[in-house]
Amino acid sequence: MSKNLRIGIIGGGRIGKVHAINLTTRVAGVEVTVMTDPFANKELEALAADYGITRVIKDYREILGDPDIDAVLICSPTDTHATITREAAMAGKHVFCEKPLDQDPDVIRKTLDVVKQAGVIFQIGFNRRFDHNFRALRQAVIDGSVGDVHLLRITSRDPEPPPAEYVRVSGGLFLDMAIHDFDMARYLTGSEVVKVHAAGAVLVDPAIGREGDIDTAITTLWFENGALGVIDNSRKATYGYDQRAEVFGSRACASSTNDTPTTVSLSDAEGVRSEKPLFFFLERYAESFAEELRDFVKAVNDGVEVPGRKAALNSVLIALAAKKSLETGLPVEVDRE
């Protein structure tokens, strides 16, 4: 029997805690031995203890220097992702990193080159690829049920807008929110995006506009395989977290609807009523967060393919092209490797 994969988690914020709980309760073949956060406190120590994590420290470099750690999860602030990834790879640790790796393509390329030279597994945290609905859509393309892909539609709307302070450092709607959808577009079609045309507006929160960002967008996509796509984004859907997609092809149309607390609907003289979509992303994608970690373990142990270099780089290249298109009002070619 192979030994457990020994993991250290770098970053004790919201997503770090989610991963810690999933790894210790829902993922087989792993052992989380340490969490690190520069602001580690009694609350984090208590959570770690509740899930059998015996060490909570403040300096992530202690993890990188620990020969008993096989892999790290990087859940720290975005501006630290690339640096810690390079340091972890050079220390011989396999790396799972939350998105984005960086907002600068040159930094991403440099970092991924270090990872390649180190020979370690690298996975970027695009969890929506592991969602049950979107995996089924992708399978309908892979097995030929859809036929040749002609059109892709993705709807991605948050239940409420982020605070202006977050927007200020997020990189903007395309690099922060829609980047998931750009990755999904590549994933669902199995093709690269070659050109985009983006339009945006401030319709939800004027404070977002004062930070120089938008909260509502439409992005048209041209794919390498000839297909066309459209993504609509909003920072506020009053009815919940709206996550839908449709792939239309020469043989069929495959579509996914929102997850709801139940599928029960009530029909009476007043109309037909059903439940609203799940409100929060941690509810909607709860299983996908666990599933992406299961695949990370499989990648280390068995070499299964996970979203890595192309996912980390190409999603950012699409987002930057969308930002440029918004600024110029013109279609923009997406940079290629």
β-pairing verdict for 193-201 and 332-333: antiparallel
CATH class of 5-120: alpha beta
What's the CA gap between 95 and 120, in Å, rounded? 7
Question: Is the model more confident about 333 or about 303?
Answer: 333
Q: Name, in order, each residue with C-beta under 8 angstroms of 150's C-beta and a sequence gap of 6 or more.
A: 227, 228, 248, 249, 250
DSSP assignment string, 198-232: EEEE--S-HHHHHTT--SEEEEEEEETTS-EEEEE
- Cβ atoms of 73 and 6 within 8 Å: the answer is no
- Where is average pLDDT lowest: 69-73, 80-84, 273-277, 293-297? 273-277
**DSSP structural state of residue 158:** -
Sheet-wide strand order for 5-10? 55-57, 30-36, 5-10, 71-74, 94-98, 122-125
Q: Categorize the per-residue pLDDT at 70 as very low, low, confident or very high, splitting at 50, 70 and 90.
A: very high
β-pairing verdict for 193-201 and 216-223: antiparallel
- Cβ atoms of 200 and 326 within 8 Å: the answer is yes
- Cβ atoms of 85 and 118 within 8 Å: the answer is no
Please choose, from the candidates 256, 258, 264, the residue with its C-alpha nearest in 3D space to the C-alpha of residue 242.
258
> 210-260 pLDDT, tens per residue?
999 999 999 999 999 999 999 999 999 999 999 999 999 999 999 999 988
pLDDT score for 2:
56
pTM, 2 dp: 0.93
Q: Where in the chain is the domain with CATH 3.40.50.720?
A: 5-120
Residue 141, CB-side half-sphere exposure with 13 Å CA sphere: 22
DSSP, collapsed to helix, strand or coil, labels residue 125 as strand
CA dihedral over 326, 241, 153, 288, signed as positive or negative: positive
What's the CA gap between 118 and 64, in Å, rounded? 14
pLDDT score for 260:
87
pLDDT score for 193:
98
Token pair in block for residue 235: 């920072």
- Where is average pLDDT lowest: 17-21, 92-96, 261-265, 330-334? 261-265
- 129-288+314-333 CATH fold: Dihydrodipicolinate Reductase; domain 2 (3.30.360)
Q: Cis (ω within 30 of 0) for the bond into 100?
A: yes
Q: Where in the chain is the domain with CATH 3.30.360.10?
A: 129-288+314-333
